[in-house]
Amino acid sequence: MTEAAVAAREVPTGVFASSAEAGADTVARGYRYIVAGSHLTVLASGARQSSSLLPPAHW
């Protein structure tokens, strides 16, 4: 079913987006349920932020 057909039937729609930015246009397209990111993207972001606070390793 296309987005237009779903909207015509007033069926609530949702989408998984990789980030808030990636899902921003879905609101304008009529999506009501938007999941931005996932457990994995949140964990990876936290790991990157934490590792940036550590001093560089000296092997």
pTM of the predicted model as reported, rounded to 2 decimal places? 0.52
Long-range contacts at 23-32 (CB < 8 A, ≥ 24 apart)? 29/3, 30/3, 30/6
Domain positions in the chain? 3-52
What pLDDT band is residue 1 in, cutting at 50, 70 and 90?
Answer: low
Q: What is the pLDDT of residues 14-50, one digit of tens each?
A: 888 878 888 888 888 888 888 887 788 778 888 888 8
Residue with tokens 């998984």: 16
Q: In Å, how far from its chain's centre is CA 14?
A: 12
- Pair of tokens at residue 28: 């304008």
* 47-51 CB contacts, 8 Å cutoff, 24+ apart: none
